[in-house]
């Protein structure tokens, strides 16, 4: 059967904002964007494990039947433990069928920077091989799971039970003008001086399935200042802010550059009370 693309499909894949200048700006960031322009700061393993637990991504659940999104995977600090938990969950129920078929839809992970994408994709393949997955299946899974491009402009199908990660922190002055204009047209929370992590949260929330959980570590400024107003309204009206963990002065990252980091767990459920914790003791591995 020949599946024809309609004009609406094309609009979905390449929205009106997808002009040549926007495309060129994305490509230039993908090829050469420095660490500051890309907001590349990596998360420590203890913090990753804590977020996965709080979001409910635990190997005692049927994770192979669920879908997880990592919107900016960097060196794979979240992705590799996620894959470890996914394999453990699948094995716990007998690892029925081929790994590619059984696990191919369980993860979708995005990274803008081309070299980072390539290196982490190779790391994912070797991690899977180390876990006993055959080379063909390991390469097939990495190809199905991993996408190189801009999370805020990428065509992404379906909804997710989990969205987890550490979105990029990039001030507006560092975002190329055509791209910033495209984000502003697309995201209602790209308001005032909002940093790039703000529309990341908006898109991630909108991709959550009913009952799904988002677990991010990022700056908490959106909860307090002017630019966070539209995102606060979105969360208050349609989601449940379940946990807020203040991570100021804890060794959450491999470098110390984010002011006021916090872990937030937000679910697509009816609004309810928020549990709050301050500066938990983190053991540095």
Q: Which residues are at the interface with ligand SAM (CB under 6 A)?
A: 38-43, 72-75, 77-78, 110-113, 116, 150-152, 165-166, 168
Give the C-alpha separation, 246 to 193, whole Å. Answer: 22
Q: Are 243 and 220 in contact (CB under 8 A)?
A: no
Nearer of residues 38 and 85 to ligand SAM, judged by Cβ:
38
- For ligand SAM, the nearest residue by Cβ is 74
List of E strands, 138-239: 146-148, 160-165, 208-219
Closest approach, Cβ 229 to ligand SAM, in A, equals: 22
Closest approach, Cβ 101 to ligand SAM, in A, equals: 27
Nearer of residues 99 and 253 to ligand SAM, judged by Cβ:
253
Residues in CB range of 13: below 8 A, 6 or more apart: 155
Nearer of residues 102 and 221 to ligand SAM, judged by Cβ:
221
| CA 114 to chain centroid | 17
Nearer of residues 25 and 137 to ligand SAM, judged by Cβ:
25
Nearer of residues 113 and 221 to ligand SAM, judged by Cβ:
113
Q: How is residue 133 written in tokens? A: 């997955």
Closest approach, Cβ 4 to ligand SAM, in A, equals: 30
Nearer of residues 217 and 235 to ligand SAM, judged by Cβ:
217
Give the C-alpha separation, 158 to 237, whole Å. Answer: 22
Q: Check residue 5 and report its DSSP letter.
A: P
Q: Are 100 and 140 in contact (CB under 8 A)?
A: yes
Closest approach, Cβ 43 to ligand SAM, in A, equals: 4
Give the C-alpha separation, 145 to 185, whole Å. Answer: 28
Closest approach, Cβ 44 to ligand SAM, in A, equals: 9
Residues in CB range of 20: below 8 A, 6 or more apart: none
Closest approach, Cβ 45 to ligand SAM, in A, equals: 10
Q: Is 29 exposed, middle or buried (0-12, 13-18, 19+ CB in 10 A)?
A: buried
Closest approach, Cβ 92 to ligand SAM, in A, equals: 26
Pairing type for strands 107-111 and 208-219 reads: unpaired
Nearer of residues 257 and 276 to ligand SAM, judged by Cβ:
257
């Amino acid at each position: 059967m020949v599946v024809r693309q309609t004009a609406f499909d094309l609009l979905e894949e390449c929205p009106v904002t997808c002009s040549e200048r926007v495309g060129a700006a994305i490509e230039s960031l993908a090829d050469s964007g420095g660490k500051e322009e890309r907001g590349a700061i990596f998360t420590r393993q203890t913090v990753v494990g804590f977020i996965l637990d709080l979001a409910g991504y635990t190997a005692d659940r049927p994770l192979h039947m669920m879908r997880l999104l990592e919107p900016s995977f960097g060196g794979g600090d979240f992705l590799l433990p996620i894959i470890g938990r996914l394999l453990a969950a699948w094995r716990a129920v007998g690892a029925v069928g081929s790994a590619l078929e059984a696990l191919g839809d369980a993860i979708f992970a995005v990274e803008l920077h081309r070299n980072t994408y390539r290196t982490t994709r190779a790391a994912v393949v070797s991690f899977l091989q180390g876990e006993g997955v055959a080379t063909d299946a390991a390469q097939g899974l990495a190809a199905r799971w991993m996408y190189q491009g801009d999370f805020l402009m990428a065509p992404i199908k379906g909804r997710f039970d989990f969205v987890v990660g550490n979105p990029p922190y990039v001030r507006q002055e560092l975002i190329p003008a055509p791209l910033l204009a495209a984000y502003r047209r697309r995201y209602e929370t790209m308001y005032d001086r909002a940093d790039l992590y703000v529309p990341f949260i908006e898109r991630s929330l909108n991709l959550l399935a009913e009952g799904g959980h988002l677990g991010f570590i990022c700056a908490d400024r959106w909860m307090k200042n002017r630019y966070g107003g539209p995102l606060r309204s979105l969360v208050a009206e349609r989601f449940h802010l379940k946990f807020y963990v203040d991570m100021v002065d804890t060794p959450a990252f491999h470098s110390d550059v984010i002011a006021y980091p916090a872990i937030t767990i937000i679910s697509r459920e009816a609004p309810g009370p928020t549990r709050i914790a301050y500066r938990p003791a983190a053991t540095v591995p």
